[in-house]
């Protein structure tokens, strides 16, 4: 074999490792989706205990009710996206991104719950903190997984893998 050709082949494998080295194990994604489902279920358990009426300011009560209702819809939407993802025969990175985007919306809503949290009872503040902690780890995990999945797909396309 020509030394230049051998060098090109070696460079290709150095910068474009075989597909099996780039693919995220499905078990890791399954674990992420299972943890995400548990976080969604945990929020649904916490939500009924949030008492929006425990502040004397009407605007905060109304805002709290709106956010809790919105979060309920966003949680249900995320559950549906996870279920849809699990039914795909060949899921694409964008499908994982859709779930991540749902968790970002949930995190925004949870952040809105904690806004002016000092004006709520200690019980609500504890629930707001639990809701936040429930989602922050999953959202960060999703961010890393989506990034890795997208980068892996990009590297495979650069290397000519399909």
Does 6 fall in a domain?
Answer: no
Domain containing residue 129: 25-158
d(CA 78, CA 28): 19
CB atoms within 10 A of CB 106: 24
In a domain, 123, yes or no: yes
Is the residue at 40 inside a domain?
yes
> For residue 15, is it within any domain?
no
| 32 domain-assigned | yes
If phi over 0 gives left and psi between -120 and 50 gives alpha, with beta otherwise, what is residue 57? Answer: beta
Whether 73 is covered by a domain: the verdict is yes
Residue 144 lies in a domain: yes
Is residue 14 in some structural domain?
Answer: no
CATH of the domain at 102: 1.20.120
Integer Cα distance of 126 and 121 in angstroms:
9
- The model's pLDDT over 80-119, given as tens digits with 9 standing for 90+, comes to 999 999 999 988 777 888 898 999 999 999 888 877 777 8
**What are the backbone dihedrals phi and psi of residue 24, each rounded to the nearest 5 degrees, phi first?**
-70, 135
* pLDDT for res 43: 93
> Within 13 Å, how many C-alpha atoms sit on residue 112's CB side?
19
pLDDT digits (tens, 9 = 90+) for 19-70: 444 444 577 888 899 999 999 999 999 999 999 888 888 888 898 999 999 9
Q: How far apart are CA 131 and CA 34, in angstroms?
A: 17
* 76 contacts: CB under 8 Å, gap ≥ 6: none
Rounded to whole angstroms, the Cα distance separating 116 from 129 reads: 13
pLDDT given at position 76:
96
Is 18's pLDDT higher than 50?
no
User: Do residues 85 and 95 lie in contact, with contact meaning Cβ atoms separated by under 8 Å?
Assistant: yes
Rg (CA), the chain: 22
pTM for this entry: 0.74
- Number of separate domains in the chain: 1
């Amino acid at each position: 074999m020509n030394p230049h050709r051998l060098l090109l082949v070696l460079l290709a494998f150095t910068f474009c490792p075989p597909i099996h080295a780039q693919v995220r194990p499905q078990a890791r994604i399954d674990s992420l989706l299972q943890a995400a489902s548990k976080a969604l279920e945990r929020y649904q358990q916490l939500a009924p205990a949030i008492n929006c009426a425990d502040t004397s300011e009407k605007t905060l009560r109304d805002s709290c009710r709106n956010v809790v209702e919105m979060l309920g819809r966003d949680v249900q939407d995320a559950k549906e996206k996870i279920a849809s993802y699990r039914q795909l025969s060949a899921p694409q990175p964008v499908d994982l991104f859709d779930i991540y985007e749902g968790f970002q919306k949930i995190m925004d809503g949870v952040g809105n719950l904690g806004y002016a949290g000092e004006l709520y009872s200690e019980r609500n503040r504890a629930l707001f903190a639990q809701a936040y902690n429930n989602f922050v780890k999953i959202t960060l995990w999703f961010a890393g997984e989506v990034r890795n999945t997208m980068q892996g797909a990009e590297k495979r396309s650069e290397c000519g893998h399909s």
